[in-house]
Chains A and B, each alone.
Chain A
Amino acid sequence: DQQVKQNSPSLSVQEGRISILNCDYTNSMFDYFLWYKKYPAEGPTFLISISSIKDKNEDGRFTVFLNKSAKHLSLHIVPSQPGDSAVYFCAASESGGSNYKLTFGKGTLLTVNP
């Protein structure tokens, strides 16, 4: 059973526009959420995180929004740049003793066209 779902395998956006990547989760014990970016033949790089006590966290061009009632989070990239083209993974962590463990979605391939 997939607890973290990224329903869009791919997304294509024009340079300068907004990219919106979506993620849904089913486990109500998740209380910390992260986004990672991955280029081919490289390891994932941590981008931004959000705790369930917040509904928004911003870092430069990247903003993550969390809607707990809908069990949904999204990553906004504004403005999108060609260098943002990568696979983006959503991940979630439970509260309590297993909080070191991350559950990942299957990823969304973002392509930013010049």
Chain B
Amino acid sequence: DVKVTQSSRYLVKRTGEKVFLECVQDMDHENMFWYRQDPGLGLRLIYFSYDVKMKEKGDIPEGYSVSREKKERFSLILESASTNQTSMYLCASSLYGSRREQYFGPGTRLTVT
């Protein structure tokens, strides 16, 4: 079974703090993704990475950056957290190739106060 883990299930941070969310997958997947999920808006792609040190912006990259130094690990960074970044953050991974299923971690519920 694919295992995607995220560093925290719940996180509370203050406005202006730098926030790190970490994701680790154990299936040697090339692709990794960060989404946020908000009520009524579905899943929106923030960033994705198709290889170590490679990254591309998704649909809503503003206010976020990412880091992928190792194949199994993909970090999402909020440089200066704001209240509108309060959300559920989901990490996913997938294999390169014709099978396009993405496998998700349990999510991190981030609250910025």
Contacts and interface: CB of A to CB of B under 8 A. Distances in A.
B100 A106 contact: no
A100 B31 CA distance: 8
Interface stretch (B13-21, B36-44, B64-72, B78-86): B36-44
B100 A89 contact: no
Interface string A26-68: 0000001010100001111110010000000000000000000
A41 B89 CA distance: 11
B42 A100 contact: no
Contact of B101 (A9, A46, A105): A46
A93 B100 contact: yes
Instruction: State which size class the interface on B falls in.
Output: 20 to 34
Q: Identify the interface centre among B94, B100, B103, B109: most chain A CB within 10 Å of its CB.
A: B100
Given A45-B104, A106-B40, 18 more contacts: A36-B104, A41-B106, A41-B109, A42-B106, A42-B107, A43-B4, A43-B92, A44-B104, A46-B102, A49-B101, A93-B100, A100-B48, A101-B45, A102-B45, A102-B100, A102-B102, A104-B44, A107-B42
20 contacts: A32-B100, A34-B100, A34-B101, A36-B104, A41-B107, A42-B106, A43-B104, A44-B43, A46-B101, A46-B102, A99-B98, A100-B31, A101-B45, A101-B48, A102-B45, A104-B43, A104-B44, A105-B42, A106-B41, A106-B42
